[in-house]
Structure 1
Amino acid sequence: MDDRARGIVLYACALVLLAGGGLWWLRAAPHDDPDPRLAQWRRSAQELLPEAGDQEAGDTVALSAGRDHLVLSDVESGEFQVSVVCVGPAESQVRVSLGEAGSDSGHGLSCAGGEPADSFTVSTSGQLRLHVSVNEAGPVIFRYALVRTAPG
């Protein structure tokens, strides 16, 4: 085989490998087909817990079934009212606990049926840690708001 034929075979093999690798990469990429209910649930969560003008921190996040999520809010020392709400399918629940994971039993919330926001008061020394755990009936939309009630 002459040099020209060997070059053509080499380039053809490289092209086949490149095409195969590209096809594999495209097919192996995770398909993020968002749940169409999430947009409606996000709007519901925002209606159930609207943003307050004196809010120190807050966020809205979509969480998958069986997932744990850590919320860290750097705030000054003091007393805060924490309001939480979740929206999701029937039988979906979240458990919100403070501090280190497993250090307290937490507070359970039902996410089905548009339950109103729940609130509780905490004192912080510079950082609020919320551990949010979703049961197996997800996904859910979780929303929280942090409002100062007394200076530290």
Structure 2
Amino acid sequence: MEVDGIVLPAVSEAIYRLSKDESYNGKIDLILPDVTEIFDQEFHSARALNSITLPKVTNLADQAFYGTLYLRTITFGSVITEVNELGAIFNQVGYNVGGCDLILNCGQMNESNVPAPDLTNNIWKFKFENEFKSITLTHTGECDECKANQ
């Protein structure tokens, strides 16, 4: 399926189709255990998403989650090492549900290729500021705090 010139992967296509029916808004909890990259606009306007868990994703592309108005939680299990942002990746995420919680691998704080999130103000800025309801870290032993406590 092609949306606005972008060919969507099968899972994204299914979410996109469900998102056309308002009765599915915020109803889908999606886990993609083996995906390593989220492509341009892959979940753009995916209103059916309630939560998404991405244990192995390391690359985020432009507008990947733009307009996911009902998305309450995004969980990244791996450290994001590459971001390609021309427009805001997370613009309007969780807009209709009071915001979105972002859960990151603690190693994100030490990643040199991608700016660290601002945990105090719940902002993760690449080219644009992406504001979240909360940003929390899953301690996996990769951050300085974890290493100090070993």
Q: TM-score range by the shorter chain?
A: under 0.3
Q: Which has the larger radius of gyration?
A: 1
Bigger fraction of residues in strand: 1
Normalising to structure 1: TM-score of the pair? 0.23
Normalising to structure 2: TM-score of the pair? 0.24
Bigger fraction of residues in helix: 1
